[in-house]
Chains A and B, each alone.
Chain A
Amino acid sequence: MSLATPTHAIFDDWHEICGSDEIVTGTGMPARVLGRQLAIFSTNEGYFALGNCDPFSGANVLARGIIGDIGGKLVVASPVYKQHFCLRTGICLEDMSVTVPVWRVNVRDGRVFVSEGER
């Protein structure tokens, strides 16, 4: 896979996290970036990253949720109270006023990078 964004960004705000084989497809794993906790997901449709904190329980656990699709939206279900968060937008399907931060993810040379900001 190649990086679709302009290369100059890589050196400024793309953070290398891990090897792409360190996350089993269909699961998530937590990571730390800039003092924040992220949940990085590997799916059949690529990699996604959200804030790891579940806004309903306050626990840092979204990486441990089950990945799936609801009504065509790729989601993770919070393992605590089971709300769904869209992997692309961070919006909670049960309560649209609640969102979790979304990070960009790219994979290059078998390594996973994330970057803050709008996807």
Chain B
Amino acid sequence: MKPTRLVVIGNGMVGQRFLEEIVARELALDITVFSEEARVAYDRVQLSSYFSGASAEDLSLVTPGFFAEHGIHLMLGESVQRIDRERCVVVGSAGSEVPYDTLVLATGSYPFVPPIEGNDREGCHVYRTIDDLDAIAATAKSSRSGVVIGGGLLGLEAAKALKDLGLETHVVEFAPQLMAVQLDVQGGTLLREKIAALDVSVHTGKATQRIEAGDSQRHRLVFSDGELETDLVLFSAGIRPRDQLARDAGILVGERGGVIIDDHCATSDPAIFAIGEVALWSGRIYGLVAPGYDMARQLAAHLAKDEKAKFQGADMSTKLKLLGVEVGSIGDAQARTVGARICQIDDSVAGTYKKLVLNAAGDRLLGAVLVGDTSDYGTLLQYHLNDMALPSSPLSMILPAGDGKPALGVDALPDSAQICSCNNVSKGDLCSAISQGCCTMAGLKSETRASATCGGCTALVKQVLDAELKRQGVAVNNHLCEHFAYSRQELYHLVRINGIRQFDALIKDHGRGHGCEICKPAAASIFASCWNDFVLDKPHVGLQDTNDNFLANLQKDGSYSVVPRIPGGEITPEKLIVIGEVAKKYDLYTKITGGQRIDLFGARVEQLPLIWRDLVDEGFESGHAYGKSLRTVKSCVGSTWCRYGVQDSVAMAIFLEERYRGLRSPHKLKMAVSGCTRECAEAQSKDVGVIATEKGWNLYLCGNGGMRPRHAELFASDLDDATLVRYIDRFLMFYIRTADRLQRTSVWRDNLEGGLSYLQAVVIDDSLGLADELESHMQAVVDTYACEWKRTIEDPVAMSRFRPFLNDDSADEALVYVRERGQKRPARLSEKATDAMAARIPVLETQS
């Protein structure tokens, strides 16, 4: 039997998805696809990212070799001119005639350009293809300003693109509000305010009558009530289905365009199907990709004789970030349903507007509008799509995050709940992938496609993943790595209770294999917290992360940085001079850090001991900038000098830094002490923050700067010195014993069951009866402190590892520097390659 000849017209988003769905079903087909564009399918949804740096390849939706691998004939750059239904052939623009048994139209749509005079002037554009974008960018080069005609979803996206191109940007909308399809009047008004605040001029209620040559700029737009000059015009006034081929062939189309299809995507000719934006189902065209993907899937299933396959319409809810403004629209946003009730929060201070449209009984969600904050979108959409009963006070669902806000337990969702609408992935699909061993977001994404398109469902997918992993039992997820079937906390207890002091013994008795770069440093840290042995001793040296391994921070070229401790940021002029002299002697790049001390960069591995010998001789010690350990205790100048200070914050900072220096912990630790509530030391962003009061000290815990800032929480007030230190001792040791690997105190605290009050009970009220043990453990660590660098330069075995080579004393020739602003910096690749020898300082020259 000859294979069925399948021809697909259009290789856009939906056409390509259809091909993928079809080949996955392994039918005997001879497939030809026509692509009018000169490139294969790409991600139109992310089109705008082309202006913020994505390349055409980045946007491609086709894995290399796809067509060849599946024997698909690709007619690239050739459009179909005619369908000859009598002979069952399609005729291409290059003259090719391809016969079909089954024909699929996936021709998408084209941007509608309003029929106004001058709409074809040079410098007038549309926004649909990569070629359009190239043309826009070319015009923009010689333009100062640009106007988008159309203030819908795509128009605002296009406005963002013009802004990214550096143009003064205007949006002209015919309707009295922006995004009239998705938003109500209030939402549209707030959106307008927000966009105007971003320096985009918004003109609503304006009908453009003609475009003519301008005086100061290329064009002049003439409205019934005024005019506007601009260099670039971008039409974004809606889309129209590309149904001309079907019309010409006598296939039924809708009154206002679109190829009419049934639930199997069949047109009035049973051999011909239509999917995507060209298709008209039940009187509607879907201008979004998710319904198109669903059509592609249903049609492929139908062709594979799956009787259940049916397209049944799609939800048009959307969530977008337009020009940085979050906008979400769900279901019946305009409250058109009879008897619909509304509750809303309109917070003009916060700049958010949230509206819920409820049924008459007030217990089901018909629709919603969110502007300025769409964090509730995922939850609301699930209530809407699954017809779930709302909590008794629906308004609570859109309150700002905080206590009292009911969380949507993903557990409450039925398995059939659709989590990713772009790719029709249900909660059940995710759960089964997870139970088959897919337990990372990346894995789930490639396995099920969830979150792979618009990304709007990412948060929800993650929630399902976490909940599922939790449900399937801890075993899945808290194992340190493939060598230890324990969490860090469990390993800590094994080490401590069994008195294990070395990795070989630990892995022999409790693990398997040789270990890796995850478990070795974790074990090294636990050994150090428990026994405080020298980290470069033979049994430990191979376990250390590279920074601990050489007691310095590795830089990108393989050199190291040196950070001496400067407790509390206080330093004498003499010591400041010493640092300057050492930096000069070894030609080190010198910078003041964000932690109130000085970092010296560009030391070669063999220079580290020399530099440190000089520093140690002058009374400096290691600053542990390399360790997962205490970094700095930042201070403000405090009562000694400051007219507002109420306590001596510098003295306290130095005391704390000297007490906890060298303490190895699951992640780094930062502290600060401020002399009064003005908080110049920023203590509330530290793991441990201390703020002076008239009566003593307020203690704040578990703050974090960095990637996810978190304010520290007030833990206890008006403490005297001794109590303050006791609490910090207990807190730190409790954290060290129970935290996960590389978990900062902030994340640990967020995951601590019982929260702040539990922590207060353990530390202040000693509810676990651990306080004495925690304190004496800390005291043992404090008592055994020794400067690692002092120790190292006195230890010949440790020193031997700082040789440049086993069999050669010369320096690494790859370390090349150039001078900039009076100091050295690593040469860039291009600089290394050029023969600009004059600017080059071979490191050898700077030897002492």
Contacts and interface: CB of A to CB of B under 8 A. Distances in A.
Contacts of B519: 68
Contacts of B801: 24, 27, 29
- Interface SS of B by simple majority: loop
Nearest to B605: A64
A61 B554 contact: yes
A69 B546 contact: no
Contact of A40 (B545, B557, B800, B806): B806
Contacts, number: 103
A17 B513 contact: no
Nearest to A30: B805
B297 interface: no
Contacts of A26: 541-543
Contacts of B543: 26, 66
B517 A66 contact: yes
A58 B830 CA distance: 13
B817 to A, nearest CB: 14
B490 interface: no
Interface string B509-542: 0000111110111000000000000000010011
A77 interface: yes
A90 B806 CA distance: 21
Interface in B729-743: none
A22 B797 CA distance: 9
A33 B546 CA distance: 24
A40 B800 CA distance: 15
A75 B516 CA distance: 8
Interface string A44-84: 10000000010001111100111111111011010110100
Nearest to A76: B517
A31 interface: yes
A27 B541 contact: yes
A31 B808 contact: yes
Contacts of A27: 541-542, 801
B556 interface: yes
A118 B513 CA distance: 26
Given A67-B514, A80-B554, A30 B541 contact: no
Contacts of A99: none
A38 to B, nearest CB: 9
B406 interface: no
A59 B558 contact: yes
A37 B806 contact: no
A74 B812 CA distance: 27
Nearest to B537: A24
Most A-side CB within 10 Å, residue of B483, B605, B800, B807:
B807
Nearest to A71: B482
A23 interface: yes
Interface string B186-212: 000000000000000000000000000
A18 B514 contact: no
Nearest to A42: B542
A108 interface: no
B516 A69 contact: yes
Interface string B440-461: 0000000000000000000000
Contacts of A79: 545-546, 549, 554
Nearest to B798: A24
A63 B549 CA distance: 11
Contact of A59 (B482, B541, B557, B800): B557
A89 interface: no
Contact of B806 (A30, A57, A66): A30
A58 B516 CA distance: 23
A43 B542 CA distance: 10
B321 to A, nearest CB: 30
Contact of A24 (B482, B541, B556): B541
Contacts of A31: 805-808
Contact of A60 (B556, B558, B803, B808): B558
Interface in A11-36: 17-18, 22-27, 29-33
B804 interface: yes
Contact of A64 (B513, B514, B546, B808): B546
Interface SS, A side: strand
Given A29-B801, A59-B814, A66 B516 contact: yes
Contact of A17 (B483, B514, B807, B812): B807
B577 interface: no
B829 A70 contact: no
A61 B815 CA distance: 12
Given A25-B542, A66-B542, A82 B556 contact: no
Contacts of A68: 483, 513-517, 519-520
Given A32-B805, A59-B557, A66 B812 contact: no
B550 interface: yes
Contacts of B513: 68-69, 72
A66 B520 contact: yes
Contacts of A75: 516
Nearest to B503: A26
Given A32-B808, A70-B516, A79-B554, A60 B542 contact: no
A35 to B, nearest CB: 10
Given A27-B801, A37-B812, A77 B807 contact: no
Contacts of B544: 66
B3 to A, nearest CB: 35
Contacts of A80: 554, 556, 558
Contacts of B521: 66
Contact of A67 (B542, B550, B808, B812): B542
A73 B829 CA distance: 33
A57 B516 contact: no
Contact of B542 (A24, A33, A57): A24
Contacts of B829: 58
A74 B514 contact: yes
B514 A44 contact: yes
A59 B806 contact: no
Contacts of B515: 68-69
A69 B542 CA distance: 14
Given A37-B812, A61-B554, A77-B516, A70 B482 contact: yes
A30 B516 contact: no
Point out which of A22, A59, A68 has the most chain B C-beta atoms below 10 A from its C-beta. Answer: A68
A73 to B, nearest CB: 10
Contacts of A17: 806-807
A19 to B, nearest CB: 9
Contacts of A69: 483, 513-516
B542 to A, nearest CB: 3
Given A43-B514, A66-B521, A77-B517, A61 B558 contact: yes
Nearest to A70: B516
A75 B543 CA distance: 14
B589 to A, nearest CB: 17
A46 to B, nearest CB: 12
A101 to B, nearest CB: 16
B606 to A, nearest CB: 11
Contact of B814 (A23, A58, A67): A58
A50 to B, nearest CB: 14
17 contacts: A18-B806, A22-B800, A22-B806, A23-B806, A24-B541, A26-B543, A29-B805, A31-B805, A31-B806, A44-B514, A57-B556, A65-B546, A66-B543, A69-B514, A72-B513, A80-B558, A82-B517
Sort A-B residue pairs by CB-CB distance and give the 4 closest, nearest first: A26-B542, A68-B516, A79-B546, A59-B558
Interface of B: 482-483, 513-517, 519-521, 538, 541-546, 549-550, 554, 556-558, 605, 800-801, 803-808, 810, 812, 814, 829
Given A24-B538, A66-B521, 12 more contacts: A18-B806, A27-B542, A30-B805, A31-B808, A40-B806, A44-B514, A57-B558, A58-B829, A59-B558, A66-B516, A66-B545, A69-B513
Interface of A: 17-18, 22-27, 29-33, 37, 40, 43-44, 53, 57-61, 64-72, 74-75, 77, 79-80, 82
